[in-house]
Amino acid sequence: MRRKLAAGNWKMNGTKAALSELEALRDAHPDPAVDILICPPATLLSPAQSLVGNSPIALGGQDCHAKTDGAHTGDISAPMLVDAGATAVILGHSERREDHEEESHDIRIKARTAQAAGLMTVICLGESLDQREAQDTLDIIGAQLSLSVPDSSTGLNLVVAYEPIWAIGTGLTPTPDQIGEVHDFIRSRLERRFGPGVGRSVRLLYGGSVKAANAEEIFAISNVDGALVGGASLTEAQFSPIIKALEAAV
- Note the residues at the interface with ligand PEP (CB under 6 A): 9, 163, 168-169, 207-210, 228-232
Contact indicator for 136, 185 with CB cutoff of 8 Å: no
Amino acid occupying residue 22: L
- How much of the chain is in helix, strand and coil states, percent to nearest 5? 50, 15, 35
Q: Closest distance between ligand PEP and the C-beta of residue 124, in Å? A: 7
The Cα–Cα gap between 245 and 224 comes to 13
Q: Closest residue to ligand PEP, Cβ-based?
A: 230
Contact indicator for 219, 229 with CB cutoff of 8 Å: no
Question: Per the residue annotation, which of 21, 29, 65, 93 is the catalytic one?
Answer: 93
Q: Among residues 160 and 228, whose Cβ is nearest to ligand PEP?
A: 228
Judge whether 163 counts as a catalytic residue: yes
Question: Per the residue annotation, which of 21, 95, 127, 163 is the catalytic one?
Answer: 163
Q: Among residues 80 and 122, whose Cβ is nearest to ligand PEP?
A: 122
For the chain, the first-to-last Cα distance in angstroms comes to: 10
Q: Among residues 76 and 227, whose Cβ is nearest to ligand PEP?
A: 227
Judge whether 93 counts as a catalytic residue: yes
Q: Closest distance between ligand PEP and the C-beta of residue 82, in Å? A: 22
Contact indicator for 204, 184 with CB cutoff of 8 Å: no
Q: Closest distance between ligand PEP and the C-beta of residue 186, in Å? A: 16
Contact indicator for 49, 82 with CB cutoff of 8 Å: no
Q: Among residues 65 and 97, whose Cβ is nearest to ligand PEP?
A: 97
- Please, which residues have CB within 8 angstroms of residue 16's CB and are 6 or more apart in sequence? 44, 47
Q: Closest distance between ligand PEP and the C-beta of residue 151, in Å? A: 25
Q: Which residues are catalytic?
A: 93, 163
